[in-house]
Structure 1
Amino acid sequence: MKKNITMNTLVLLSLLGCGSGDDDISTTKNNDDISVDTGDDSVSKNKNNKPELNGDTVYFYVGNNTLVHKLPIIDKDGDKVTYKVINLPQSGDFSVDDKNSEFTFTANLSSIKEEVVSLIASDGLDEIEFDITLQPELVLKPEEFQSSDNIIEGQFEFVSGADVEFTYNVISDENTPSFIPLISNINGAAMSDVNSFVINEDGSFKLTAQPYSDPIFIDVTLTSNDKTVTAQIKYLTEQKNINIDAFSDPLYFQQWHLNNTGQDAYSLSKASEGFDINIGQLHVQGITGKDIHVAIVDSGLEIAHEDLVENVIPDMSYDFVEQDDDPSPNQDETGGDHGTSVAGLTAAVGFNGKGGRGVAPSAGLSGFNYLKAQGMDVFYETHGGDKTQTADVINQSYGYGLPIILPTNAFNFEVQEVFIKNHYEVVNKPALMIKSAGNGFNRLFGDKRINSSEEETRLPAQIANSDPANASFYNTVVSALNANSDAPLSSYSTVGSSVLFAAPGGEYGVQYPAMITTDVAGCDRGYSAESEFGGYSGGLDDETQSESECSYTSIFNGTSSAAPVASGVAALIMQSNSDLTWRDVRYIMAKTATKIDLDFAPVILSQGGEQYIAEPGWITNEAGNSYHNWYGYGMINAVEAVQMATRNDELLPPLVESEFVTSNIVGSVNIPENLEGITQQIEITDDITIEAIQLKLDINHERMSDIAVEVISPSGTRSVVATPRHLHHWNPKDYFGYDAEVLFLSHAFLDEPAKGIWIVKVIDTNKNIMRLDYFGNESELANNTVLGSLAGASIKVYGHK
């Protein structure tokens, strides 16, 4: 008896250790009756039923619609079943919900095939391994097709039943509605990229696209047995450079002006994603500026620079100081070389694993140090003369910034204008001359205006027309943009009615992004240099500076940057269509520019209870073109410009220039000090379609800063060619004699008819003291002591019949 009790005690301890409540073991509560029998019949245990397959194991799915279904498993005991997936399908996302005993499958259609998924079902005691089959019933694979030309032929991968039908929607670009209705022939539709698209019942197709199309997305719908499925198909045409590595240039990923991903470009702030010149696929499509010659007329050009040398045309550059063909800066010049950085923005070599990339990474370069040897002979040779006869584009990143609107008889401007005009008339294919507007929005010649109102802060210190070279029809003037789409004008950029379009120029590269480009090589000179106290100047990071031997910079800026970016886009356009003239190219750049800063509010000045709209902002002329003194026709758009260049067979007719037509002024007319001003009428009788107009004024005023000048076309378009409160306060007649006349150019009337009555209006907008700040020293400019006067006004029209 003693032995029997001991064994029962051990059994009780074992049960407590395993947890109470197990229904499989039966015991008695009466200790007197405790007994143990080692035979199998002494312990009662129910037999477990393991999970079983029940139902079909093949499931059909349609497209990438999510399939949710019960798993084919039952458990007769009602036990909770859990699942383990042994192998996941390769063509979609698969998951199991244990609670509901369901599976979810979403096909990604990377490949259309039958998938077998193996699983284990367990009730905690027993398990079973089983398979289910996922079978495509109606599937159309989203695919990408490409071609080296503008025609793509191929066949869709799909699974369907009987009665197959294909329909489609072409997803268009921003210039047309988001979706085009389903049609069988889209030749007549308003789509810029697709010429025709045909699908056959077997899924074969043929797409014919316009030249240099953006990626084309087409939603194709497959219908079969009353079920439908849609997939988006991507088409890439003219993929000529598909082997290039878009990210092989290590600094490219920070060049926001080429591809703005919201990067900081080594500054403290990020750029606005998507705000760039829209290079798009052009480089991949073979549009890289190849065989186009861009002359950099500047301070020089380091022709052996590692990221420029492949594009420098041998023996085409010139040093006017040393009289040789190498305009590279001398070793004793420790500062940066402006021309070298300008050249990098236009045509730094692309896809070579070095530095960044130019807008036209295969364009040819030549360089000239005109700024170190200025003179009329040098001007002639570099502005269409002997040294630049073969140039397709001449980049001029320089200009004047003086407290005077320079008259036409100053500094040989009239002589230069005559030379350039003759060049354009004599040379078979003259170059497009692109010029920076200036960097004087906030300060001019050291002076900064102490503003008398909030509105006055929005008026520029320098107007672009103050430089007669900017007022020349033959120069294409560019203003500068920063990386912020909400306030895109670069803080320093000179603006005015002679600006044709805008391009990225950046800010200063510390608080806000500047431009990343080439710098003279070597850490002992240039914008990027090693400090004796450690670290580097020139932006970038220390590792990049060290590895590249300080050959690049991220702090270059100015309209000096905007001009070469525009020159690069011009080179892309010229490569795409060699028949274009310089006028065609810049007309295309203006017509395809992107309108920006849409919330710009006009600048309104108040005086004596009157108001004057000193800067109207965006205006739309009679021809439907929108123009802004700050941005011209907008930010240049490379893709759309190339597309227009290759899709429009109509080139501009020959240039027509009228004579200067004089107003009805008889003698000198005083300019009152009120916001009404004086007006003069000029009748143009020539039937010319306008490309630009020039206004010449014989004006005399003691404080020219007060003067606003506007021109109103016969169609009613108003262009302010000289905004007031600028800092060109000197009277030109006091410095250049009474034959000094000032010249203004306006691009606001593009495509309008010139014939009719023009109105010229001159307004004296300020009768108060004007206060200036010269680097902390304040001064005052008293109001004019006598009324200003206008002795003559005349207009010249440039355009075509």
Structure 2
Amino acid sequence: MLNRRWLDKELTVFLSLWLLGVLSPTCSEEVLTNHWYVELHEGGEDNAIKVAKRTGFSYVSPVLGSNTEFHFIHHAVPHARLKRSIYHNRQLKNHPLVKTALQQTGFLRSKRGFKPLPNIPVSEIKLQDPDINSILNQHKDGKLPTDPLFPKEWFLKNVGQSGGIAGLDLNVESAWEMGYTGKGVTTAIMDDGIDYLHEDLRNNYNAKASYDFSSNDPYPYPRYTDTWFNSHGTRCAGEVAAARDNDVCGVGVAYDSRVAGLRMLDQPFMTDLIEANAMGHMPNDIDIYSASWGPTDDGKTVDGPRNMTMRAIVNGVNEGRGKKGSIYVWASGDGGADDDCNCDGYAASMWTISINSATNDGQTAGYDESCSSTLASTFSNGKSTLRDAGVATTDLYNNCTTTHSGTSAAAPEAAGVFALALEANPNLTWRDVQHLTVLTSKRNRLFDPYLRHHWQFNGAGLEFNHLFGYGVLDAGGMVDLARKWKPLPERFHCTAGSVIKKLSFGTNDPIRLEIPTDACRGSKNEINYLEHVQAFITLKSSFRGNVVIHLTSPMNTTSMILSQRPNDDDFKNGFTRWPFMTSHSWAENPKGTWVLEMTMVSGKGSSYDTGTFFEWTLVVHGTKSEIYQNQDGDTDKHGKLYNIKRRHADYRFK
């Protein structure tokens, strides 16, 4: 369970570091919305409604269930403007019950993977896969789902269809054979709505846990557009919980689980209040929150959650699911090799599980971002020159599709696997799910076709890859380990040290910094076994996208915590205490000297770019006690980790 002292006392320090970074806007002009955050001296919903009515506002809802903080909207104010409405702010602040009133900034959030697969000439389409008959035969025997699109769901059972590699899938069949199908688990799809009338979803739809934060009503049905742009959430929902054996579309990873719709993306600008209320919605009814969106994937945006949203996430991991912690699953991003998901404060958060994607033949997709915070991978689409290369799932208005793609498709698959694990062991905490992900994900046949990122072992003997994290999720392995999983030791965090000085660096002229640490030895926060590592960094440069940063642990594991982003031409903002995160040193001992190397690489900009370093603070998170001492019934002190990993590698390829 989570250490309450850590949350209550020390989290304030961490959040101050985080928020000073993410609240530095990267856009030149601030956009203001017609939404307001209002805090009252005297609480109560009745008081909030009275204040709203008296000042000309409309009452929306409490903020994160608070008795004193509320969300107001003013319908006479434009949805977006460039100046704060002084008059309306004054109207609120002059009311004797109002303590604070803050007009909400608007910002952009983009759906991951809304990129139609290319049109392939008929002459190039492969009309029949030679291996498909093996799936069809099993259909007839009743061993596998009979849904019409199941043979095309190669991410569930890959027999080589659409040019894939047989066996490269989520291994859900093993979990299903053990009797786990997601019963009793609810996943919230935070997106543009869900077609909850769809025949493949309606029986698994959790209406009680659903809400429309765009229209402020309990019916998160997608808004119609000619382009079907708002099909995104419906497609993601089908991947998790499409029903089995009903002759409609395909089948979900956790086909007996339930999905809730949290409609919040379909509006001109996002606000902190809308994000926060979505991520904190009914945390004891929703187990998993799946997000296939984030800051714009343009290769130059540096952005993340604001104040209220961070409060919602922290409250979720602290209080959600009966204090076991809400599970937040995040798509790593579709910015491709020119972007880095460590510049996405959602995917790079230690409280979310960042999921990247792979194709059906084991490669990274061309749109995949890479970063050291990615924990694992699932699948997005196959080879575009073959028929049904995308992910088969539900679509708007009772339709089906085989063209869903992007890391949008990857995150819901992971949510489905986690739903299977939660059914196997409902007592799993948010940390348990991350540990199970690390220990049971597989290298399988995943590889980088460009040979830039190789598989390597960290100091604790865990194999990882900068693109794929710890490998592709294995539902069978995760469920098997989950059902006998025992509670983890208490988690702490330790500020390991800081370097605060002004240093210059430039193109091919790096700087090297060191922080020796005892990881708070002898204190209540002592850490001997790592989980997450954060480097809060402040710098500016003449071309931010050419800054590359590596962090090396005392056990000699090097993480690239920032890669080159050639489209990021920022020369003003830089990074302000930005929390770069790595999961690559998982289970290592943090004691010793940490090394930060920072340089400007050649690229766009001038022939010689310069940078100025100001601050680096190292924060390590983990346990004092041996991290896997209770797992698997193993008493060999030095062999626990290896034995756990080895036993659960038997489900599929190592």
Q: TM-score, normalised by structure 1?
A: 0.56
Matching of residue 420 in structure 1 with residue 313 in structure 2: yes
- Deviation of 1:704 after TM superposition, in Å, equals 1.7
Report what 2:428 is aligned to: 580
Matching of residue 346 in structure 1 with residue 240 in structure 2: yes
Matching of residue 516 in structure 1 with residue 392 in structure 2: yes
Q: 1:722-733 alignment to 2 at 5 Å? A: 722-731=562-571, 733=573
Q: 1:440-589 alignment to 2 at 5 Å? A: 440-441=335-336, 460-485=337-362, 488-507=363-382, 511=386, 513-521=389-397, 551-589=399-437
Are the counterparts in 1 of residues 512 and 595 from structure 2 also a CA contact under 8 Å?
no
Q: 1:327 to 1:334 in 2, by over 3 A?
A: farther
Structure 2 CA distance, aligned partners of 1:558 and 1:742? 26
Report what 2:621 is aligned to: 798
Higher Rg: 1
Q: 1:413 to 1:313 in 2, by over 3 A?
A: same
What do residues 219-247 of structure 1 show as CA deviations (whole Å, max 9, x unaligned)?
Answer: xxxxxxxxxxxxxxxxxxxxxxx996624
Matching of residue 624 in structure 1 with residue 624 in structure 2: no
- Deviation of 1:729 after TM superposition, in Å, equals 3.1
Are the counterparts in 2 of residues 404 and 730 from structure 1 also a CA contact under 8 Å?
no
Matching of residue 393 in structure 1 with residue 256 in structure 2: no
Report what 2:597 is aligned to: 761
Q: Which amino acid aligns with 1:438?
A: G
Report what 2:507 is aligned to: 673
- Secondary structure at the counterpart of residue 516 of structure 1: strand
- Deviation of 1:314 after TM superposition, in Å, equals 2.7
Q: Which amino acid aligns with 2:479?
A: V
Are the counterparts in 1 of residues 277 and 312 from structure 2 also a CA contact under 8 Å?
no
Report what 1:251 is aligned to: 149
Q: How many residues align?
A: 473
Report what 1:378 is aligned to: 274
Q: Which amino acid aligns with 1:382?
A: A
Are the counterparts in 1 of residues 201 and 243 from structure 2 also a CA contact under 8 Å?
yes
- Secondary structure at the counterpart of residue 535 of structure 2: strand
Among 567, 570, 576, the alignment partner of 1:740 is: 576
- Deviation of 1:783 after TM superposition, in Å, equals 4.0
- Deviation of 1:570 after TM superposition, in Å, equals 0.3
Q: 1:718 to 1:601 in 2, by over 3 A?
A: farther
Are the counterparts in 2 of residues 403 and 727 from structure 1 also a CA contact under 8 Å?
yes
Structure 1 CA distance, aligned partners of 2:344 and 2:316? 21
Structure 2 CA distance, aligned partners of 1:597 and 1:782? 40
- Secondary structure at the counterpart of residue 790 of structure 1: strand
- Deviation of 1:395 after TM superposition, in Å, equals 0.1
- Deviation of 1:304 after TM superposition, in Å, equals 0.9
Q: Which amino acid aligns with 1:745?
A: M
Report what 2:180 is aligned to: 287
Q: 1:381 to 1:647 in 2, by over 3 A?
A: same
Are the counterparts in 1 of residues 373 and 582 from structure 2 also a CA contact under 8 Å?
yes
- Secondary structure at the counterpart of residue 265 of structure 2: helix
Q: Which amino acid aligns with 1:497?
A: S
- Deviation of 1:600 after TM superposition, in Å, equals 4.8
Larger strand proportion of the pair: 1
Can you give the 5+ residue segments of structure 1 that lack an aligned partner in the other structure? 1-241, 265-269, 442-459, 523-550, 604-614, 771-780
Structure 1 CA distance, aligned partners of 2:470 and 2:308? 30
Q: 1:350 to 1:675 in 2, by over 3 A?
A: farther
What do residues 636-675 of structure 1 show as CA deviations (whole Å, max 9, x unaligned)?
Answer: 0110111111234x32223212237312x4x211113226
Q: Which amino acid aligns with 1:630?
A: L
Structure with bigger RCO (C-alpha 8 Å, 6+ apart): 2
Q: 1:482 to 1:402 in 2, by over 3 A?
A: closer
- Secondary structure at the counterpart of residue 593 of structure 2: strand
Structure 2 CA distance, aligned partners of 1:362 and 1:276? 20
Among 272, 283, 301, the alignment partner of 2:165 is: 272
Structure 2 CA distance, aligned partners of 1:418 and 1:654? 22
- Secondary structure at the counterpart of residue 375 of structure 2: strand
Structure 2 CA distance, aligned partners of 1:331 and 1:398? 20
- Deviation of 1:730 after TM superposition, in Å, equals 1.7
- Deviation of 1:740 after TM superposition, in Å, equals 2.6
Q: 1:330 to 1:421 in 2, by over 3 A?
A: closer
Q: Which amino acid aligns with 1:556?
A: H
Q: Which amino acid aligns with 1:375?
A: T
Q: Which amino acid aligns with 2:598?
A: V
Q: 1:634-653 alignment to 2 at 5 Å? A: 634-648=471-485, 650-653=486-489
Structure 2 CA distance, aligned partners of 1:733 and 1:694? 20
Are the counterparts in 1 of residues 338 and 564 from structure 2 also a CA contact under 8 Å?
no
Q: Which amino acid aligns with 2:213?
A: F
Structure 1 CA distance, aligned partners of 2:308 and 2:215? 26
Structure 2 CA distance, aligned partners of 1:761 and 1:784? 18
Among 484, 491, 495, the alignment partner of 1:655 is: 491
- Secondary structure at the counterpart of residue 432 of structure 2: helix
Structure 2 CA distance, aligned partners of 1:400 and 1:568? 24
- Deviation of 1:397 after TM superposition, in Å, equals 0.5
Are the counterparts in 2 of residues 602 and 617 from structure 1 also a CA contact under 8 Å?
no
- Deviation of 1:682 after TM superposition, in Å, equals 4.7
- Secondary structure at the counterpart of residue 293 of structure 2: coil
- Deviation of 1:698 after TM superposition, in Å, equals 0.7
Structure 2 CA distance, aligned partners of 1:379 and 1:508? 35
Among 260, 275, 289, the alignment partner of 2:158 is: 260
What do residues 83-135 of structure 1 show as CA deviations (whole Å, max 9, x unaligned)?
Answer: xxxxxxxxxxxxxxxxxxxxxxxxxxxxxxxxxxxxxxxxxxxxxxxxxxxxx
Q: Which amino acid aligns with 1:327?
A: P
Q: Which amino acid aligns with 2:360?
A: A
- Deviation of 1:794 after TM superposition, in Å, equals 1.1
Are the counterparts in 1 of residues 318 and 324 from structure 2 also a CA contact under 8 Å?
no
Matching of residue 696 in structure 1 with residue 536 in structure 2: yes
Q: Which amino acid aligns with 1:695?
A: A
- Secondary structure at the counterpart of residue 476 of structure 1: strand
Q: 1:263 to 1:601 in 2, by over 3 A?
A: closer
Report what 2:253 is aligned to: 359
- Deviation of 1:316 after TM superposition, in Å, equals 2.0
Are the counterparts in 2 of residues 297 and 382 from structure 1 also a CA contact under 8 Å?
yes
- Secondary structure at the counterpart of residue 699 of structure 1: strand
Which range moved further: 244-253 or 630-639?
244-253
Larger helix proportion of the pair: 2
Q: TM-score, normalised by structure 2?
A: 0.68
- Deviation of 1:795 after TM superposition, in Å, equals 1.3
What do residues 744-782 of structure 1 show as CA deviations (whole Å, max 9, x unaligned)?
Answer: 11010000112222111112222xx52xxxxxxxxxx33
Q: Which amino acid aligns with 2:255?
A: P
Report what 2:560 is aligned to: 720
Are the counterparts in 2 of residues 482 and 489 from structure 1 also a CA contact under 8 Å?
yes
Are the counterparts in 1 of residues 299 and 338 from structure 2 also a CA contact under 8 Å?
no
- Deviation of 1:375 after TM superposition, in Å, equals 2.0
